[in-house]
Structure 1
Amino acid sequence: MGSDIPFGFGNLGGDLPDPNDPRVQQMMQQLQQMMAQSLSSGPVNWQLAKQLAESELASENTVGPADQAAVSEAVRLADLWLDAATAWPSGVTATDAWTRKQWIDQTEASWKQLAEPLAGQMGEAMQTLVPEEMSGMLGPMADLMKGVGSALFGAQMGQALAKLAGEVLSSTDVGLPLGKTGVAALLPNNVAAYAEGLELPVEEVRLFVALREAATHQLYTHAPWLRSHLLGALDAYAREIRIDESAIEEAMSEIDPTDPEAAATMDLSEVFKPEDTEQQKAALARLATTLALVTGWINVVVAEAADGRLPTIDRLLESARRRRASGGPAEQTFEALVGLQLDPTKVRAATRLWKSLGEARGIEGREGVWAHPDLMPGASDLEHPEGFVTVSEAMGDLDMSMFDQLAVNDPRPPEEDEGDEGDEGEADKDKP
């Protein structure tokens, strides 16, 4: 670029810009106006994210009382069918029907939990790019890079949320509940579009989505450590984020600082070091295994609950499998957050594992494995599920009540494993 000063400041003339230069003062004023909102909004400018997302969803159908009634009835029936397929009571306390914009509003708190640790670490790394000798000139803009990062992540989250809002079918479609605890919510307009694409009756598709929604709420309610476990893996990944200074300098030089929406075009994969650390590889392996186990369990209980009751269940299960393989909401979410590409073969292996475990130990024995993270299968168990089933069957007579109490008192995130466990097939200590 011909200068060691980030973002082309050196091109204004001299080794450092003159703070009395009207051009510099004008640039600072523009940057202050653009960043004022971002600096006060934390690692991600969520106001910008929502504005951008909702602007892309300007025209959409509303949901009315008939939609609310249809969703409520589908979830009620789904819970009734799940009674015979699981060992737990319902995890649903209320139902709702959302538009796409309502999905964005209702899930904002969860997106903050998922994205802010990553964006915060990236923002801290970006802030180090401001040269020490420029701090005096910048004055109140010394935190310039935090504002840049906040606007950047806000713009990119806005794009991601708009895309997901057009595809998600329920509040749990990304692999965990994103709305309020116990609220089972479907997006009737998206469900109708999905049913039309499958050429299946919307009533049966709605019931299938309700089964998956109710099952997910049930799982997260009765495995209270599970949510913090997933968030812990994301935190572990975030702590190891490093920045490529030359890459961000080059990328930012191509962005118009007066146009916040231009930040949405920046490719973050080119900014942060592409080679994950060993700790990050281990965190991603834990995350991938846990998500596969969650999806596999849901597949099994939904298939068992709908068996003989839902005529199109085989087609619906196959459509869900194809949706994951081609990049569904869960796959898009975790690839965008941490570059994790969820492996469909892991989900198939997890589905076989839970099915075999239920046959060997019964429903209560299968659900007992969720009592504590230390009882859960690891990545290597997905390679050889029959071995885990055999060992787990031998433990069937043990008193699991102590693990139930541990899970309630200690819903801790997973500890980082020592050593190189980036290879999911060999990470014996890779507990989800």
Structure 2
Amino acid sequence: MTSLGGAEMVDWKLAVATATRLVRPGPEVSRDEARAIVAELRRHAKASEGHVRAFTRMAPPVKDGDAFAGDTPVLVVDRAGWIKANVEGFRAILGPLLEKMQDRRNGTSTAVLGAVGGKVTGVELGMLLSFLASRVLGQYETFAPGTGDIPGAGGGRLLLVAPNIVHVERELEVDPHDFRLWVCLHEETHRTQFTAVPWLRAHIEGEIQSFLGETEVDPATLLERLREAAQSLAGGRPEGEDGGAPSIVDLVQTPAQREILARLTAVMSLLEGHADYVMDGVGPQVVPSVTEIREKFQQRRARGAGRLDAALRKLLGLDAKLRQYRDGERFVRAVVDEVGMDGFNRVWTSPNTLPTKAEIAKPADWVARVHRKSEK
């Protein structure tokens, strides 16, 4: 991996070790229970494929009679497994930025930056991952690095975090079998989005690389900004006058990055909102207690888990993610109500038909641009 003065800029092994040491243990289950939960999640993930594709009218491209793009793997993992998978993803997506920083190392104290900075950043990354690892129910890992051992590698993989799913279903006191299927419907929608729309992964990766490419800070400054973020996490920096610290993304933004981030925000709002819409649309047909689950889950989202949790969510930008669920779902619902599911699916035609951030807030503007323009 990219290094300075012979030392890695990010100590990835230390990041994994830190996160796995700090992450809270999952709920207690017996070995037999654990096996049954894993098997059920795999069955639900498989069943969700058909439900989601029928509802969305989306399916992977077919080659030689087989939907070859739809066999990206489904992995049921524990919290440590989620951490390791995401460190792999970070290494893949941050590689170009670290290489750029390597090229700009002249004039930097490589001895200090390489030996100390890599370990500090590794600890910081580990702290962030330990926080997230106990909260993520599932994730379509879009940028999973390609390896010969993982089918479909390089095209993504679906992770279901079993301990977190069990924790939430117990906390909400809902039917566990219904809840597990409900979660799988959401995550399978994400897998369908990327397998049925071949250009989507490359488009998002290109936007992310453009965002990273606009980072014009020297390595020492970037590490210092990340250190400030870690200090906020640890409570070492007081809240600002506005009542909170900026998110980590805010710490390194330039004007050009804000434009890119606006486009990424619109895309992520679309993807998250679409998954919520599909989950609720399919739910009544296959999840008997979906109304109760949805109501309790929404209440959980809204109230958070206390002051510290709220501060961490703000720092990590997770408040924005919650808005993406709400805004994106309203966009999808409004468009489907106006032009139907097939009309909505024009959104997947090309990057040019993706909604802008403004159109997410005003779905009628997207309909006017994409539909009425094409009808002239």
1:75 aligns with 2:53: no
Structure 2 equivalent of residue 403 of structure 1: none
Of 40-49 and 280-289, the range deviating more from structure 2: 40-49
**Alpha-carbon offset, residue 198 of structure 1:** 1.0
Q: Report SS of the residue matched to 1:167.
A: coil
> Are 1:149 and 2:117 matched, yes or no?
yes
Deviation, 1:224, is: 2.7
C-alpha contact (below 8 Å) 1:242/1:272 kept by paired residues: no
Aligned residues: 339
Match among 86, 93, 96 for residue 107 of structure 1: 86
Listed as ranges, the gaps of 5+ residues in structure 1 are 1-36, 131-141, 255-260, 399-432
SS in 1 for 2:279: helix
Residue number in structure 2 paired with 1:383? 361
- How far did residue 369 of structure 1 move? 1.5
Moved more, 311-320 or 207-216: 311-320
The residue that corresponds to 1:206 in the other structure is 180
Identify which of 36, 55, 59 aligns with 1:85.
55
Which of 374, 393, 405 lines up with 2:371 in the alignment? 393
1: CA distance, partners of 2:254 / 2:121: 22
Equivalent position SS for 1:307: helix
The residue that corresponds to 1:426 in the other structure is none
Could you say which residue in structure 1 is the equivalent of 2:326?
348
C-alpha distance in structure 2 between counterparts of 1:38 and 1:58, whole Å? 33
Verify: 1:194 aligned to 2:168, yes or no. Answer: yes
SS at match of 1:185: strand
Secondary structure of 2:198's partner?
coil
Match of 2:128 in 1: 160
Shift of residue 292 of structure 1?
Answer: 0.8
Q: Give the letter aligned to residue 58 of structure 2.
A: W
- 1:98 is aligned with what amino acid? V
Contact in 1 for aligned 2:134/2:164 (Cα 8 Å): yes
Shift of 1:367: 1.9
TM-score (norm: length of structure 2): 0.73
CA distance in 1, matches of 2:324, 2:249: 28
Give the Cα–Cα distance (whole angstroms) in 2 for the partners of residues 320 and 127 of structure 1: 51
For 1:323 and 1:114, the matched residues in 2 are separated by 31
State the 1:169 CA deviation.
Answer: 1.1
Q: How does 1:177-326 map to 2 (within 5 A)?
A: 180=153, 181=155, 183-238=157-212, 239-242=214-217, 274=251, 276-321=253-298
**Does the CA contact (< 8 Å) of 2:24 and 2:134 recur in 1?**
no
Contact 2:105 2:219 in 1 (8 A): no
Q: Does the Cα contact within 8 Å between 1:171 and 1:186 map onto a contact in 2?
A: yes
After superposition, the C-alpha distances for 1:214-271 in whole angstroms (9 at most, x for unaligned) are 110000112233333333333333323436989988999x9xxxxxx99x96879799
- What is the aligned counterpart of 1:53 among 3, 19, 41? 19
Quick one: structure 1 residues 281 and 54, their matched pair in 2 at CA, closer, same or farther if it must change by over 3 Å? same
For 1:193, the aligned partner's letter is: H
Amino acid aligned to 1:161 = L
Q: Any gaps of 5 or more consecutive residues in structure 2?
A: 61-69, 146-152, 238-244
Q: Residues 54 and 347 (structure 1 numbering): CA distance in 2 closer, same or farther, change over 3 Å?
A: closer
Q: Greater CA deviation, 213-222 or 389-398?
A: 389-398
Cα separation, partners in 2 of 1:188 and 1:95, compared to 1, 3 Å: same
SS of residue paired to 1:171? strand
Alpha-carbon spacing, 1:274–1:56, altered in 2? closer, same or farther (3 Å): closer
Range with bigger deviation, 188-197 or 40-49: 40-49
**What residue in structure 2 maps to residue 98 of structure 1?**
77
Shift of 1:57: 4.3
Q: 1:124, 1:146 within 8 Å by CA — same for their partners in 2?
A: no
Q: Kindly indicate whether the alpha-carbon contact (under 8 Å) linking 1:285 and 1:379 is maintained by their aligned counterparts in 2.
A: yes
Question: In structure 2, do the counterparts of structure 1 residues 191 and 92 end up closer, same or farther at CA, with 3 Å as the change threshold?
Answer: farther
**Percentage of identical aligned residues:** 21
* Structure-2 residue corresponding to 1:29: none
Q: Which has the higher helix share?
A: 2
Q: Which residue of 1 aligns with 2:341?
A: 363
CA 1:119–1:166: 2 relative to 1, 3 Å: farther
Counterpart-to-counterpart distance in 2, 1:325 and 1:397: 41
CA distance in 2, matches of 1:165, 1:334: 17
Question: What corresponds to 2:241 in structure 1?
Answer: none
Superposed displacement of residue 210, structure 1: 0.5
Residue 208 (structure 1) shift: 0.9
For the residues of structure 1 that align with 2:281 and 2:343, how far apart are their CA atoms?
16
Aligned residue for 1:97, secondary structure, equals strand
Contact 2:23 2:131 in 1 (8 A): no
2:117/2:223 contact within 8 Å kept: no
Counterparts of 1:365 and 1:299 in 2: how far apart (Å)?
Answer: 18
